[in-house]
Structure 1
Amino acid sequence: MDLDNYISKLKSSSATPGGGSASAISSMFAASLNSMAALLSTGKKKLLAHDNYFKTIADESGSIIGELKNLSLEDEKTFQGIMDALHIDRNELDRADAINTAIKNSVRVSWKIAGISLHNMENSLFLCNNGNANLITDDISAAYMAYTAIHTSVNNIKINLKFQKDKNYKEAELLKLKFFMENVESIIESIRLKENSIIP
């Protein structure tokens, strides 16, 4: 992915890429910072008890970044899918089903970005508490980037569910969001406590 090219597209008048795609990029930066912090924590004499976990974070970051890169592109496609469904002639019998399916596809991608971003936050918190203390602001930055990605994804899910006609599906998704965000807010609160304890 060429970042300059991506930013040119993002700042243009085109509807894609948009916030959902950009949220995946934000989470990619979070994973990258986690990787750096983990690598610079590995092999440290005082941190050897957590060495295997540092290596795990560093090793998995490459696949996380690759997956988020794919999800950034997939988000663009699913958004376009919604636009295409909305442009189906209102007299077409399958229009409503097409819209509902397109919305579910978009929600699925947003959930994937949010889930991976939550894992990035968990890794950031672990590094905050156990990693190289010289990298603490990088750990905190990573957590906030992932947190931003989650909020963007959740907002996209909520706005899409607003137009979803499948009531059972909508209710189930909103319940999932409630419990998911309770977990997210618990982690970011721990990050904030750590931040406040070390940054004047």
Structure 2
Amino acid sequence: MTENLNEERIATFLDALASSAPTPGGGSVAGISGAMAAGLVSMVCSLTIGKKQFADIEEEVRGIHDRAEGLRRELQALAQADIEVFGRLSAAYKLPRTTDADAATRKAAIQQVTRSAAEVPLRIAQAAAALMPLCTSLANRCARLIVSDVGVAAILVRATVQSAILNVEINLAGLEDALFVRETRAQLEDLSVGLGEEAEGILAIVRQRINQ
């Protein structure tokens, strides 16, 4: 896929995703799902701002909205970055290896780009994880009729983080930089700690409010 992901219609994106082309792939899907979660958070905020019954929390909700929009833009950009880094990695694998010098240059290029290919989904996971506290803040305070959207956002956040982590791990498996691998795995572990529990806590609140 050579087009800019953020300029495509959703049908075009899905057709490309379902095709034999290697991109967009799982990393881009993770970025888009995170952006969708952010969009839902922004929507809930937009439907809350300006309502008299929520006047006492309007300033806080505006802050949540601004944070969600920043993360949405970041996640959309990262979805495109994932496509671009795959292109660079594919090009690195096609470098000549006729001579020992060629082989060494090719190996170094692959290692360098593979590191970038791990860093992009790591940033997706980090950006998505930053959305979960926003969902927590809204779950008990938004209008009951839109609380399900907060729940969907939380589910997408959890799925995004888990999906992005898989994309980090597949690239770490090919890296020889033991320090980078170790430090990145530690970051992945930190991102995972408590994520599922927080999502389940949000969903419990959502279901309780739905059934009030």
* The two structures share one fold, judged by TM-score above 0.5: yes
Q: How does 1:91-110 map to 2 (within 5 A)?
A: 91=100, 92-110=103-121
**CA distance in 2 between partners of 1:66 and 1:168 (Å):** 31
1:163 corresponds to: 174
2:93 aligned with 1:86, yes or no? yes
1:198 deviation in Å? 4.0
Query: Aligned partner of 2:51: which letter?
Result: K
1:34 is aligned to 2:41: yes
Distance 1:184 1:87 in 2: 39
Aligned equivalent of 2:26: 19
Q: Distance in 2 between matches of 1:196 and 1:139?
A: 11
Superposed, which structure 2 residues align to 1:57-96 within 5 Å?
A: 57-90=64-97, 91=100, 92-96=103-107
Distance in 1, matches of 2:75 and 2:178, equals 30
Find the counterpart in structure 2 of residue 138 from structure 1: 149
Per-residue deviation, 1:54: 1.1
- TM-fit CA distance, 1:96: 2.4
Match of 2:139 among 117, 120, 128: 128
Q: Provide, for residues 20-70 of structure 1, a one-character-per-residue CA deviation record: whole Å limited to 9, x for no partner.
A: 111111112111111111111223344333211211222344433332222
Output the CA distance in 1 between the equivalents of 2:56 and 2:118: 40
Tell which deviates more after alignment, 43-52 or 71-80. 43-52
Pick which of 82-91 and 48-57 moved more.
82-91
Change in Cα spacing, 1:183 to 1:55, as seen in structure 2 (3 Å) is same
**Structure 1: any 5+ residue segments left out of the alignment?**
none
Tell whether 2:124 aligns with 1:117: no
Unaligned runs of 5+ in 2: 1-6
Percentage of pairs with the same residue: 25
| Alpha-carbon distance change, 87 to 117 in structure 1, aligned in 2, over 3 angstroms | same
Partner SS, residue 15 of structure 1: coil
Count of residues in correspondence between the two structures: 200
2:186 partner letter? L
- Matched AA of 2:202: I
Once the 2 structures are TM-superposed, how far is the Cα of residue 120 of structure 1 from its aligned partner? 1.9
Cα distance in structure 1, aligned partners of 2:210 and 2:57: 24
The 8 Å contact of residues 144 and 209 in structure 2, kept in 1 or not, is answered as no
Matched residue type, 1:74:
A
Q: Which of 13-22 and 84-93 deviates more?
A: 84-93
Deviating more after overlay: 48-57 vs 33-42: 48-57
Q: What's 2:4 paired with?
A: none
Residue 180 of structure 1 aligns with which residue? 191
Q: Look up the match of 1:3.
A: 10
CA distance in structure 2 between the partners assigned to 1:64 and 1:41 by the alignment: 19
